[in-house]
A and B are shown apart, each in its own frame.
Chain A
Amino acid sequence: MSTMNLEPVPGRTDEMIVNMGPQHPATHGVLRVVLGLEGERITRAVPHIGYLHRNHEKIEEARTYPMVIAYTDRMDYVSGTQNELPFVLAVEDMLGVEVPDRAKKIRTIFFELYRLASHLVWMGTAMLDLGAISPFLYTFWDREIILGIVEKTAGARMLPNYYTFGGVRRDVHPDFFKDVADFLDHMERRMVDYEHLVLESPVVHARTKGVGVLDQERAVARGVSGPVLRASGVAYDVRKAFPYDAYPDVEFEIPTSPDGDTYARFWVRFQEMYQSIRILRQLLELTPKTGPYKGRAPARLKPPAGERYRAVENSRGELGVLVVSDGSDKPYRVKHRGAAFSNLQIIPDLFVGAKFSDAIAILSSLDPVFGEIDR
Chain B
Amino acid sequence: MSLLQEVWQAVKAIGTGMATVHKRVYEEAPTEFYPYVKPELPPVSVQSLALVENEDGSERCIVCLQCERACPAQVITIERHRNPEGKGFLIDRFDIDLVNCMYCAACVEACPVSSIVTIQDFEMSTYDLQTLKADIDFLHEQARRARQWYSPKFGVELRTDDGRIEKAPPEMQPGGLAEILKPAEEVDS
| A residues neighboring B (CB under 8 Å) | 63, 66-68, 70-71, 73-74, 134, 138, 141, 144, 151-156, 159, 161, 169-174, 176, 193, 196-197, 200-203, 290, 292-296
CB pair A67 B70 closer than 8 Å: yes
Selected contact of A151 from candidates B30, B42, B103, B187, CB within 8 Å: B42
In the complex, the 5 A-B pairs of residues with the closest C-beta atoms, listed nearest first: A171-B176, A67-B72, A202-B10, A70-B104, A171-B175
Distance between B181 CB and nearest chain A CB, rounded to angstroms = 12
- Chain A residues closer than 8 Å to B46, beta-carbon distance: 155-156
Q: Would you give 22 A-B contacts (Cβ < 8 Å), ordered by A?
A: A63-B72, A70-B72, A70-B106, A74-B102, A144-B30, A151-B44, A155-B44, A155-B150, A159-B104, A169-B109, A170-B175, A171-B179, A173-B42, A173-B44, A173-B174, A176-B175, A200-B16, A201-B17, A202-B13, A203-B14, A290-B178, A292-B179
Contact of A296 among B104, B176, B188 (CB under 8 A): B188
Residue of B24, B73, B104 with most chain A CB atoms under a 10 A cut-off: B104
Give B5-33 interface residues, CB cut-off 8 Å to A: 9-10, 13-14, 16-17, 20-21, 24, 30
Interface code B154-189, partner A: CB below 8 Å = 1, 0 otherwise? 000000000000000000001110110000000110
Partner of A196, one of B20, B44, B45, B102: B20
B118 beta carbon closer than 8 Å to chain A: yes
Kindly state the separation between the CA atoms of A292 and B179 in the bound complex, as whole angstroms: 8
Query: Known contacts A67-B106, A70-B104; is A292 also within 8 Å of B16 by CB?
Result: no
Distance, CA A144 to CA B45, complexed state (A): 15
B17 touches A70 (CB 8 A): no
A159–B72 Cα gap in the complex (Å)? 14
Scan B101-116; emit 1 where CB is below 8 A from any A CB, else 0: 0111110010000000
Known: A202-B9, A296-B188. A152 touches B106 (CB 8 A): no
A151-B41, A172-B175, A173-B175 in contact; A196/B16 too (CB < 8 A)?
Answer: yes
Closest CB of chain B to A351's CB: distance in Å?
28
Q: How far is A156 from B101 in the complex, measured between Cα atoms in Å? A: 14
Give chain B's interface residue range (CB within 8 Å of chain A): 35 or more
Q: Which of B16, B70, B109, B175 has the most CB of A within 10 A?
A: B175
A63–B44 CA distance with the chains assembled, in angstroms: 25
Whether A170 lies near B174 (C-beta < 8 A) is: yes
Chain A residues closer than 8 Å to B105, beta-carbon distance: 155-156, 161
In-complex Cβ contact of B30 among A141, A152, A154, A203 (8 A): A141
CB distance from B174 to the nearest CB of A (A): 5
Question: Given the complex, which residues of B lie within 8 Å of A68, measured CB to CB?
Answer: 72
Residues of A contacting B118 with CB < 8 Å? 155
Contacts A71-B72, A292-B188 given; does A134 touch B104 at CB 8 Å = no
Residues of B within 8 A of A200 (CB): 13, 16-17
- Report whether A294 and B175 are in contact in the complex, using a CB–CB cutoff of 8 Å: no
Within the assembled complex, what's the spacing in Å between the Cα atoms of A293 and B174? 14
Chain B residue with the shortest CB-CB distance to A106: B175
Nearest CB of chain A from residue B36's CB, rounded to whole Å = 19
Q: Is the CB of B106 within 8 A of A66?
A: yes
Chain B residue numbers with a CB within 8 Å of A74 are 102
B106 partner residues in chain A, CB cutoff 8 A: 66-67, 70, 161
| B32 closest partner in A (C-beta) | A144
Distance in angstroms between the alpha carbons of A201 and B175 in the assembled complex: 43
Residue from the list B13, B45, B102, B109 in contact with A201, Cβ < 8 A: B13
Min CB distance A179 to B, Å, is 11
- Kindly report which residue of chain A lies nearest to residue B171, judged by CB atoms: A174
Write the nearest CB–CB distance from B119 to chain A, whole angstroms.
12
A311 to chain B, nearest CB (A): 23
Q: List, in ascending order, chain A residues with CB within 8 A of B174's CB.
A: 152-153, 170, 173
Q: Is the CB of B17 within 8 A of A197?
A: yes
Q: Establish whether residues A174 and B175, one from each chain, have CB atoms under 8 Å apart when the complex forms.
A: yes
Q: How far is the CA of A295 from the CA of B41 in the complex (A)?
A: 29
A34 vs chain B, min Cβ distance (A): 34
Which residues 68-92 of B sit at the A interface, judged by CB distance below 8 A? 70-73
Min CB–CB distance A263 → chain B (angstroms): 14
9 further A-B pairs in the complex, CB-CB below 8 A; given A155-B105, A201-B14, A294-B188: A71-B72, A151-B42, A151-B44, A161-B106, A169-B109, A169-B152, A171-B178, A196-B16, A200-B13
The reply to whether A170 and B13 form a contact with Cβ atoms under 8 Å apart is no
Determine the distance from Cα of A141 to Cα of B176 in the docked complex, in whole angstroms: 28
- Complex CA gap A144/B39 in Å reads 13
Q: What is the distance, in angstroms, from A300's C-beta to the closest C-beta of chain B? A: 11
Contact B176 A155 (CB under 8 A): no
A337 to chain B, nearest CB (A): 22
What is the bound-complex CA distance between A140 and B106, given in angstroms? 29
CB distance from B39 to the nearest CB of A (A): 10
Report the bound CA distance from A296 to B152 in whole Å.
17
- Contacting pair A196 B42 (CB below 8 A): no
